[in-house]
Amino acid sequence: MIRVSVAAGALLVVLGAWLLWRRPPRRLGRADLAGLGIRGPAVVQFTTQYCAPCKAAAPHLQTAADESRVPFRQVDVGEHPDLARAYGIRTVPTIAVTGPGGRVVGVWTALPGNGEIVEAVRRARSGSAA
CA separation, residue 90 to residues 43, 51, 58, 83 (Å): 19, 13, 19, 11
- Catalytic-residue membership of 57: no
Please identify which of the residues 43, 51, 89, 120 carries the catalytic annotation: 51
d(CA 56, CA 130): 25
CA separation, residue 13 to residues 1, 2, 17 (Å): 19, 17, 6
Report, in angstroms and rounded to the nearest whole number, the Rg of the chain calculated over CA atoms: 17
3-state secondary structure of 63: helix
Please identify which of the residues 31, 42, 44, 54 carries the catalytic annotation: 54
Q: Which of 13, 31, 26 shows the shortest CA–CA distance to 90?
A: 26
- Catalytic-residue membership of 23: no
Q: Residues with catalytic annotation? A: 51, 54
